[in-house]
Structures are given as C-alpha cells and as structure tokens.
Structure 1
Amino acid sequence: MRADRLVSLVLLLRQRGRLTADTLARELEVSTRTVLRDIEALSAAGVPVYAERGRHGGFMLSPGFRTDLTGLNHDEALALLVAGSRRGAQAFGLGSALASAMLKVVDALPEGYRDTAAGRAERLLIDPEADLLSRRLVAEDVPDPIAAEVRRAVFAGHKLRIHYAAMDQTPKWRTVDPIGLVTVRDLGYLLATRSGTDRTYRLSRILAAEELAEPAQRPERVDLDRAWQERSTRFRTGGDQVTVVVRVNPARREDLVGTTLAVLAEEADADGWLRLEVTFQDSRHAEWALWQISTDAEALAPQWLRTSLRNRAAAIATRYGDSS
C-alpha cells in the first residue's frame, strides 16, 4: 500500500508541479504527517524532491525528472474496467485504485499529448455530486475492508460469510455463494445464492464480511446482465406491491415515473394533466413517492393512500399553524 502511495505522490508532483503537503494529503487520503514521512523516504531513495518555502511554496521535483512508474497493479486495471464513473468504482471500494490508475495512465502519455489531455479533461465533468438544484446525489458508503473481502470471495470463487442488516430486521450472519457484483445508480449489490436460492444483498448493509476457504457452489460462467434482469423482474412482480391511480402535472411526470416499479396505463385528462396507473414496492414506497411531488400530483386510488397523505399534510399544517 505504501509503495503505491509513493508512486502516486511522485506522479502528482510530476503532473501538477508544486503542491503543498496539505494538498498532497487530501489527494492521497492520508494525514499531512504521513505525506512528510513519504517525502523523506523518497529523498532517501534518491528521488529529487525538494521543498520551496514561502507563501506560495510546496514540494516539487527537479525539472526533467522521469522514471518508469507506470505499471498498473491488479486493482488499478480492474478499476479502469469498471469505472464508467468514479462513483461507479467507489461502489465496489475501488475509488482509490481508480485515482492511482488514472495518474499512471496520464503519466504514460507522450509529453505532447499529456498537456493536451490534461487541459481537455478540465473541460469535462461527469456525474457531479449535486444537480442544478443543489440536491446532493448520495452514494452509499461501503468500507474498503468489507468491499475488498467481498471482491476476493467473488473472484476466487469461495463461499462468503457476511453479517447483513436487512431492512427492519436484526443483523444476522449468513453464509452465501457469491456470483457477482452489480452497481446501479451508485448503489452496489452482491448477487449470490444461499442454500441454492437466489439472493441479492445491498453492499452498504453488509456490516462485516469474511472470505471462507470452501469453494462456492456456482456455475463456472455467468451472464450478470441476464441474472440482474431476472432478479429485477421477480422483484417488480412479487412482494407487497401496490397499484396506484394518480394524476400528475406533465412537468413532473418523469419525477413520478422514476420512483415507480412499472407504468401499467397512461392517458391525458381534459385539463392537460396525465392520469397514470403505476405500481410501487409497498405502501410506504407509494406514500413517500407521492409526498415528494407535493401538489403536482394527486393519488386517486386506493382510498387508504389518499387518507394517509391527507393525514400527513394535516399534521404538517397543524405543526406550522399560526402560533399567535
């Protein structure tokens, strides 16, 4: 781990020039003290890194310094393969590997291309952390040790023991046969079987993980895309799903549809609003989705949903009533 960090430190200084210890610490996700120790180690190893004092000072490499530091390790190569975005790699605990790999990729470019590529990269922003309304796009946190243990079991084909916190249930230990990993909208999932039955686990709900030595019972090859589609279909058609008839302002249609499992029917009302028949995962999901759209949507059926939304709105109105 330290060797990779030292390589990343050298590449950061090569590509960006003078950088302060605080900036290096932030980029490498370590403490300032660790950066200073790494600088000393590089100097002792003969790397020409030196400090420049003053208000605009920092650490620099001697002009023209270059060495062959661009070999990708296993995790870095893997991160590039799955990294449609940094957050996609982050979902599998590969965010740091991706950052390190990209430094090596840039450093491997011919010098004339390197500056051009860096300049063009500044003109592109993919998947920012917030949209135009400043709503933060929250990616779930999966501790690196847990993500690494899950990855090892998946790639090695070994059974995996996980301490899993299912929704509204007490966390339990369970042993599964891991099949593959999937990321959807920054959420990571483990596809597995348990006692021969398909199971899907949210990575952020795995509290601890342990790769076992016993081989997993699973097919030699797998079509993850097909497996995910089959599980998604079973999820949408099973459980405690509810069907809702709703009127919605056309301007908010996509906001509504984006929260549903399926749209069963749709037609335009005389006033220009849309009338849709949609399904939700359960009653709580339906109430939450309609509440987000406020007065731009109206649940027409079932009656229990109208009553629930009315009672919720009345409670809010009472709380914020005229205090005078």
Structure 2
Amino acid sequence: MRADRLVSLVLLLRQRGQLSAATLARELEVSTRTVLRDIEALSAAGVPVYAERGRHGGFGLLPGFRTELTGLSNDEALALVIAGSRRGAQAFGLGSALASAMLKVVDALPETHRDTAAGVAERLLIDPETDLLSRRVVTEEVPDTMLAEVRRAVLDGHKLRIHYAAMGRTPQWRTVDPIGLVTVRDRGYLLAMRAGADRTYRLSRILAAEELDEPAQRPDRIDLDRAWQERSTRFRAGGDQVTVLIRMDPARREELLETALAVRAEETDPDGRLRLEVAFQDARHAEWALWQLAMDAEALAPQWLRTALRDRAEAMATRYRTPS
C-alpha cells in the first residue's frame, strides 16, 4: 500500500508541479503527517524532492527527473476496465485505485500527449457530486475492506461468507456462491447462488464478508447483463406489489418512471395529461412516489392511497397553519 502511495506522490509532483502538503494529503487520502513521512522516504531513496517554504510554498521535483515506476497493480487494472463509469469504480471500492491508475497512464504518455490529456481533464467533468440545484448525489457508503473481500471472492471463484441485514430482519451469516457484481444508479449488488437458487444482495446491507478457500459452485461463464435482467423481471413480478392508476402532468413522467417498478398501461387524456397504470414495490413506495409529485399528479385508485395522501396533506397543512 505504501509503495503504491509513494509512486502516486511522485507522479502527482511530476504532472502537476509544486504542491502543498495539504493538497497532496487530500489527493492521496492520507494525513499531512503521512505525506511528510513519505517525502522524507523519497528523499532518502534518492528521489530529488525539494521543499519551498512560505505562503505559496510546497513540494516539487527537480526539473528533468523522470521515473519509470508506472506498472499497474491488479486493482488499478480492474479500475481501468470499469473506468467508463467513475461511479462504478466507487461502487466496487476501486475509486482510489482508479485515481492511481490514471496517474500512471498519463505519466506513461509522450510529453505532447501528456499535455493534451491534462488539458482534457481540465475541460471535462463527469458525474459531479451535486446537480445544478446543489442537490448532492446520494451514494451508499460501503467499507472498502468489505468490498475488497467480496470482489476477491467473485473474481477468484471462491465461496463467500457474508453477514447480511435483509430489510426488516435480524442480520444473519450465510454462505453463498458469488457470480458477479452489478452497479445501478450508484447502488451496488452482489449476484450469487445459495443452495442452488439465485440470490441478489445489496452491497450496502452486507455488514461483513469473508472469502473462503472452497471453490464456488457456479457456471464457468455467465452473461451478467442477461442474469440481471432476469432477476429484475422476477423482482418486479413478485412481493407485495401494488398497482396505482395515476393522472399526471407529462412533464413529470420521466421522474415517475425512475422510481416505479413498471408501467402496465398508458394513454393520453383529451387535455394532454397522462393516465398511467403503474406498479410500485409496496404501499409505502406508492405513497412516497405520489407525494414527491405533489400537485402534478393525482392517484385515481386505489382509494386507500387517496386517503393516505389526503391525511398526509392535512397533517402538513395543520403543522404550517400557525406561526412557528
């Protein structure tokens, strides 16, 4: 781990010039004290690092210094494979590996190409943490150590023991045969088999994981996209689903579809508003989705949903009827 960090530190200084200890600490995700220790280690190893004191000071490398320490680690190679989605790397616990790998890739380029790559990085921003309304993108927090254990079991083809907290149930240990990892809208899932049956586990609900030495009982090859589609179809068809008839503003249609399980029927009324028959996971899901649409949508049926929305609205009106 430290060797990789030292290489990343050198590459940061080569590519971006003089940087403060605070900036290096932020880029490497360590403390400033760790950065100072690393700088001392590099100097002792003969790397020409110099320090410039003062308000605008920092650390840099003597001009002309070049290192060939650009070999990719296994995790860095994996990160590049899924680099088409930066959030995919984050979801699978490879965010820091991706950053380290990209430093090495840029450093390996010819100087003219390296300058172009740096310019591109300044002009393109992918998946920022907030949208135009300053709403933060909610990403599930999953410990990197746990993700690394799950990832190794998936790639090595070994059985995996997980401590899993299913919704509304007491966490339990279970042993599964991992098949693959999937990320959807910043949520990660483990596809696995247990006692020969398909199982899907939300990564954020895995409290602990342990890769076992025993080989996993799974197909040699898998079409992960097809497997995900099949499980998604089964999920939408089962459980305590509810169907709701909605009349709504067409401008909010896409927002509704982002949370609904399925649209079973759709037509346009003479006034241009949409009439949809939509499936939700359960009653709470349906009430939440309609409440988000406020006055732009009306639940026409079932009656219990209309009553629930009315009661919620009346409770809200009562709260704000008098000054705080």
TM-score, length-normalised on structure 1?
0.98
Corresponding letter in the other structure for 2:86:
R
2-side partners of 1:164 and 1:90: how far apart? Answer: 21
Residue 130 of structure 2: aligned partner: 130
1-side partners of 2:323 and 2:145: how far apart? Answer: 52
2-side partners of 1:167 and 1:312: how far apart? Answer: 25
Corresponding letter in the other structure for 2:191:
L
1-side partners of 2:96 and 2:69: how far apart? Answer: 17
Residue 222 of structure 2: aligned partner: 222
Residue 54 of structure 1: aligned partner: 54
Residue 149 of structure 1: aligned partner: 149
1-side partners of 2:172 and 2:40: how far apart? Answer: 46
Residue 304 of structure 1: aligned partner: 304
Tell me, which stretches of 5 or more residues in structure 1 are unaligned? none
Residue 319 of structure 2: aligned partner: 319
2-side partners of 1:218 and 1:254: how far apart? Answer: 38
Residue 243 of structure 2: aligned partner: 243
Corresponding letter in the other structure for 1:307:
T
Residue 273 of structure 1: aligned partner: 273
Tell me, which stretches of 5 or more residues in structure 2 are unaligned? none
Matched residue SS, 2:321:
coil
1-side partners of 2:310 and 2:83: how far apart? Answer: 45
2-side partners of 1:223 and 1:252: how far apart? Answer: 34
Residue 95 of structure 1: aligned partner: 95
The superposition leaves residues 233-286 of structure 1 with CA deviations (integer Å, 9 ceiling, x where unpaired) of 101111111111001111111111221111111112232211111111111111
**Bigger CA drift: 80-89 or 5-14?**
80-89
Matched residue SS, 1:99:
helix
Residue 77 of structure 1: aligned partner: 77
Corresponding letter in the other structure for 1:12:
L
1:259-270 to structure 2, matched below 5 A, reads 259-270=259-270
1-side partners of 2:193 and 2:319: how far apart? Answer: 48
Residue 195 of structure 1: aligned partner: 195
Corresponding letter in the other structure for 2:101:
A
Matched residue SS, 1:115:
helix
Structure 1 residue 23 and structure 2 residue 23: aligned?
A: yes
1-side partners of 2:90 and 2:117: how far apart? Answer: 24
The superposition leaves residues 30-79 of structure 1 with CA deviations (integer Å, 9 ceiling, x where unpaired) of 00000000000000000000100111100000001001011111110110
Percent identity of paired positions between Structure 1 and Structure 2: 82
Structure 1 residue 158 and structure 2 residue 155: aligned?
A: no
TM-score, length-normalised on structure 2?
0.98
2-side partners of 1:280 and 1:193: how far apart? Answer: 26
Matched residue SS, 1:245:
strand
2-side partners of 1:270 and 1:230: how far apart? Answer: 37
| 1:85 CA displacement | 2.4
2-side partners of 1:117 and 1:140: how far apart? Answer: 31
Corresponding letter in the other structure for 1:7:
V
Corresponding letter in the other structure for 1:253:
R
1-side partners of 2:159 and 2:257: how far apart? Answer: 38
**Bigger CA drift: 132-141 or 99-108?**
132-141
2-side partners of 1:83 and 1:147: how far apart? Answer: 17
1-side partners of 2:123 and 2:200: how far apart? Answer: 38
Matched residue SS, 1:208:
strand
Corresponding letter in the other structure for 1:265:
A
1-side partners of 2:23 and 2:83: how far apart? Answer: 24
The superposition leaves residues 207-234 of structure 1 with CA deviations (integer Å, 9 ceiling, x where unpaired) of 1001111111111111111110110010
Matched residue SS, 1:293:
helix
Matched residue SS, 1:66:
coil
Residue 140 of structure 2: aligned partner: 140
Matched residue SS, 1:12:
helix
1-side partners of 2:272 and 2:153: how far apart? Answer: 54
1-side partners of 2:289 and 2:111: how far apart? Answer: 52
The superposition leaves residues 9-37 of structure 1 with CA deviations (integer Å, 9 ceiling, x where unpaired) of 00000000010000000000000000000
